[in-house]
Amino acid sequence: MNIAPPINTLSNKAIAVMLQAGTLFLRTPAMKADADAILFSVKSFAAAMLAYYISLRIGLPKPFWAIVTVYIVSQTSAGASFSRGVYRFAGTLAGAIATVAIVPNFVNDPIVCSVVLAGWIGLCLFFSLLDRTPRAYAFVLAGYTASLIGFPSVLDPGAVFETASLRVQEISIGIFCAVLIHRYILPKRMTGQFTGRLSATLRDARRLADNALIGTPEVNRRDRHQLAADLLAIQGLATHLPYDPAPTPPRRLLQLIHDRLARLLWLAAEIEDRIAALHLADGGAPGELTALVSEVSVWAASAQTEEREAIATLLITHARSVQKRFRADGVMPGDRLAANLAGHLAEMIGLLEDCDRLGRSIAASGRLRDANSLHGPKRAKGYVYHRDLLMAGRAALGAITGILIGCAFWIWTAWPEGGMAVSILGVCCTLFGNFDAPVPFVVKYIVGSIYGVIISLVYSFIILPSVTEFWVLVAVLAPAFLFAGSLQARLPTTFMALGITLTIPILSPLGPYYTGDFATSLNSVIALFAAVGFGAVSMSLFQTVPVDGAINRLLRLSRRDVGRRALGKAPNEARWTSLMIDRTALLLPRLRLTGKAYPDVLDETLRHLRIGHVTGQLRRTIPHKSEIGVELRDILSVIARRFRGSKQSTTTDLPDLDLWVETLIEKTAGSELKNRLQIVDLLIDLRFALGLQTYRSITTDDH
């Protein structure tokens, strides 16, 4: 008997397996990235050709600026494209107005005119470096536009108003078309990216909390670094949410969840230290406390369920009762430490539960029904950016110096293409000025420009002379722009792609009519590479910040601010925490680039955060007219002096503080102060934050 299955059944199964395999393959991250890049490229090219067509139809003399604008404005998401378009328009308008005000008034003195234009560009760069939100792009474009219009207009100052007006029109058309296409044609919404990244961040937060209870120091350190990077990433996405076409969550919800995640980052380190000091893993702690830690660990690692919120409430109540019990018996150091740990556990549970509730509200793009039911603070600060006036001023001064050297060469040699070269130099200084080390990105741009020049020459003198119809022009331009656009959508090749997409429209005669001239093209190519090449040299000399210098600068500022916090002169708790989290996130990419070993630098920044937090709280709780208050002020003054110095303070620098703080804890615990329990808790926090590890030899066996 033949028992083989029918051939049709086998073939159907084979087809089903192949289709399933193909579907899974298309869903892989690599294929999804390729599909997104192709879609971005097609949409950008469509927007560029639409802008070019409109510019031609209304008779603008240099319609290629509309194409250039499309590729500068276009981003991979609808929200980012819209925000970039809005701020590019604002910056272009401001730069054009500044140019019209500067050039006619100073054109009779070329040196003064160059100084004023360079000063404007440097000022714009300065403000763009201080504002690390999408608004910074407006400042970049204000300097970019002044350079682009101002320096070439020196040779014809009477036409500067007309030139500025035409550039604004051409750029505005490019902005309009880019925003129109990316926002309404198969838009890639920022809201979906944000909620996906937020979900991953909340998972990382729970893993951090769980590992703080049962994990190893190395795992905990990695989790803290990951959460700091997550907070910077979701803030980068959140800044574009107001411009997204999809419904977006209220800003207050974003601020509330950020503040809780930021607080959780350092609170997990506090809990980890106390668990190690109490020897919970070795069974050195009371059974009640060990059971509480175990229950919290199980809850933190569990999946989302309807019972989760009720369990959280029960755990918080349990933790507070444990805290109260050990406080009542708090004669021995181990009891006080156990009470301190229980209080921190209750706070951590509340933070995690708040994050869950806020995350669900954000995912639903709705409002929080009852903010008063949150466990943490009801007021929110949100993300706070680190701003460094000195480094921003240094970069701006470096840009001014480089531009003035270029202007001096132009004036001295009377180079006919000098105005174009200096304008490109100014553009490079503004576009790449926000990097610590801009030269590698400029080199990528130069590589792209080389490809762009070759393609432009092929178009100019081989292909375009035979083109007489617009649709044919679109067809012949498509291969180069579609390929370059797909590269622009990928972060590693973005700057190389910009070198292609910005060079082809300018060097190819994409004007109202064909004007191919080899001598003109050659002069433009020479000006382009001379400007970008000198820009790379100039920025390497005047605008590059060594990565080790940037790391040490961030650490010095953190130590300085710890001293200020101890004196009561620094920002409030939420602002302080968010600022230090941002500094930690800024250190992460720099540490990957440095050749030196900084094994503990991120832990050091977190230590600064903890010290600043507890000293600020102690400063506010100092009792008046008491001996304990005087001693607290003296301790804070000593901490302020040691952290405001130029050298890093370590545990070995503070041996006398350990005994001093321990004595003050005993004195405060036995006093009649109303807030003595709060002060004792804060002094315990201070010992751990300072790294005074006497507590590591203390267990509740002391009683």
Tell me how many helices (H) and strands (E) the chain has: 25, 0
The least confident of 54-68, 242-256, 361-375, 460-474 is: 361-375
pLDDT recorded at residue 603: 84
Task: Indicate the DSSP class of residue 364.
Answer: T
Q: Is the pLDDT of residue 479 over 90?
A: yes
Q: For residue range 391-419, what is the model confidence (pLDDT) as tens digits? A: 999 999 999 999 999 999 999 998 988 99
Name residues whose C-beta falls within 8 Å of residue 299's C-beta, 6 or more positions apart in sequence.
Answer: 308, 311, 312, 315, 349
Q: Is the pLDDT of residue 161 over 80?
A: yes
Q: Which residue has the tokens 């080899």?
A: 518
Assign residue 514 a region (left: φ > 0; alpha: ψ between -120 and 50; beta: otherwise).
Answer: beta
Q: Is the pLDDT of residue 471 over 80?
A: yes
Share of the chain above pLDDT 90, in %: 52
Among candidates 535, 527, 322, which has minimal Cα distance to 438? 535
pLDDT recorded at residue 700: 43
Sign of the torsion formed by the C-alpha atoms of 337, 338, 343 and 345: positive
Amino acid letter, 352? L
Distance spanning both ends of the chain, measured CA to CA? 85
Sign of the torsion formed by the C-alpha atoms of 22, 25, 27 and 32: negative
Separation CA 489–CA 491 (nearest Å)? 6
Q: Is the pLDDT of residue 378 over 50?
A: yes
Separation CA 114–CA 108 (nearest Å)? 11
pLDDT recorded at residue 15: 58
pLDDT recorded at residue 33: 82
Q: For residue 249, name the pLDDT band (cuts at 50, 70, 90).
A: confident
Query: How many Cβ atoms are within 10 Å of 109's Cβ, its own excluded?
Result: 11
If one compares 377 and 576, the residue with the highest pLDDT of the two is: 576
Among candidates 505, 545, 539, 589, which has minimal Cα distance to 431? 539
pLDDT recorded at residue 370: 65
Q: For residue 2, name the pLDDT band (cuts at 50, 70, 90).
A: very low
Q: For residue 697, name the pLDDT band (cuts at 50, 70, 90).
A: very low
The least confident of 143-147, 248-252, 402-406, 656-660 is: 656-660
Name residues whose C-beta falls within 8 Å of residue 583's C-beta, 6 or more positions apart in sequence.
Answer: 386, 554, 557, 558, 605
pLDDT recorded at residue 702: 46
pTM of the model: 0.88
pLDDT recorded at residue 6: 55
Separation CA 343–CA 538 (nearest Å)? 56
pLDDT mean across residues, the chain: 87
If one compares 568 and 58, the residue with the highest pLDDT of the two is: 58
**Cα–Cα distance list, 368 to 349, 365, 372, 486, 526 (Å):** 19, 10, 10, 40, 60
Q: For residue range 572-627, what is the model confidence (pLDDT) as tens digits? A: 788 898 999 899 888 888 888 876 666 678 888 889 999 999 999 998 888 877 88
Task: Indicate the DSSP class of residue 438.
Answer: -
If one compares 130 and 371, the residue with the highest pLDDT of the two is: 130
Q: Which residue has the tokens 């980012």?
A: 80
Q: For residue 514, name the pLDDT band (cuts at 50, 70, 90).
A: confident
Share of the chain above pLDDT 70, in %: 88
Amino acid letter, 399? A
Exposed, middle or buried, 603 (CB in 10 Å: 0-12/13-18/19+)? Answer: middle
Q: Is the pLDDT of residue 365 over 90?
A: no
Q: For residue 698, name the pLDDT band (cuts at 50, 70, 90).
A: very low
pLDDT recorded at residue 203: 93
**Cα–Cα distance list, 486 to 84, 180, 192, 251 (Å):** 19, 19, 22, 33
Q: For residue 188, name the pLDDT band (cuts at 50, 70, 90).
A: confident
Assign residue 376 a region (left: φ > 0; alpha: ψ between -120 and 50; beta: otherwise).
Answer: beta
pLDDT recorded at residue 251: 87
Exposed, middle or buried, 359 (CB in 10 Å: 0-12/13-18/19+)? Answer: buried
Q: For residue 645, name the pLDDT band (cuts at 50, 70, 90).
A: low
Q: Which two tokens stand for residue 341?
A: 């740990």
Q: Is the pLDDT of residue 696 over 90?
A: no
Q: For residue range 517-553, what is the model confidence (pLDDT) as tens digits? A: 888 889 999 999 999 999 999 999 998 888 888 998 9
Query: How many Cβ atoms are within 10 Å of 653's Cβ, its own excluded?
Result: 14
Reported in sequence order, the residue ranges of 285-336 that DSSP labels E, i.e. its strands, are: none
If one compares 21 and 442, the residue with the highest pLDDT of the two is: 442
pLDDT recorded at residue 694: 46
pLDDT recorded at residue 302: 81
Among candidates 539, 573, 331, which has minimal Cα distance to 425? 539
The least confident of 103-112, 151-160, 217-226, 275-284 is: 275-284
Q: Is the pLDDT of residue 649 over 80?
A: no
Residues in the chain, overall count: 703
